[in-house]
């Protein structure tokens, strides 16, 4: 089996625009999230997202953003590790870190054909939907895998260890 050079899948903010230009004519799918302690729900979600287009770009929240969203003690894994793990999935074509409160600037730059979010969101709750819809893009919500979440896993681990 051929090895994938994961460093080629990781983009800096400066490289995003160049990559998008090279992908002209392809249906780009975009999603974002914390992806702390990757689990089967994440894998299923990213596989479903990838099926919506020709390539999948995943923006991963920086550590400070995860902490503000999820609380102290999070993320469990630092950004570099989360980026590498997400990039290792065959469904993911590119990963890019972001440290803004929302992915709005990335959405403006990438102009994806499809914006995907997972979980219990409604389309009206998806941050950045207006940006994508302005240029004729589609917004999709993929239901979460029932009973599986990083927060639940971390809570279970802490209760089992007494931490």
pLDDT tens profile 119-131: 878 899 999 999 9
Alpha helix (H) ranges present in 35-87? 40-50, 63-70, 79-87
Best CA proximity match to 60, nearest among 44, 39, 80: 80
Query: Does residue 75 sit within a domain?
Result: yes
pLDDT tens profile 36-68: 888 899 999 999 999 999 999 999 999 999 998
The Cα 163–Cα 147 span in angstroms is 22
CATH of the domain at 68: 3.40.50.620
Query: Does residue 37 sit within a domain?
Result: yes
Q: pTM of the predicted model, to two decimals?
A: 0.87
Range of the domain at 45: 6-161
């Amino acid at each position: 089996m051929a090895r994938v050079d994961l460093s080629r899948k990781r983009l800096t903010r400066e490289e995003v625009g160049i990559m998008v230009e090279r992908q002209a004519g392809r249906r780009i799918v975009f999603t974002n999230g914390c992806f702390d302690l990757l689990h089967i729900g994440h894998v299923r979600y990213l596989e479903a997202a990838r099926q919506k287009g020709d390539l999948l770009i995943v923006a991963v929240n920086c550590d400070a953003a995860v902490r503000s969203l999820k609380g102290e003690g999070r993320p469990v894994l630092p950004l570099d590790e989360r980026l590498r793990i997400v990039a290792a999935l065959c469904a993911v074509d590119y990963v890019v870190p972001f440290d803004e409160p929302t992915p709005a600037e990335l959405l403006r730059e990438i102009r994806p054909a499809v914006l995907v979010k997972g979980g219990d969101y409604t389309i009206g709750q998806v941050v950045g939907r207006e940006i994508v819809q302005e240029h004729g893009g589609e917004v999709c919500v993929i239901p979460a895998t029932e009973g599986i979440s990083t927060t639940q896993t971390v809570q279970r681990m802490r209760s089992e260890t007494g931490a």
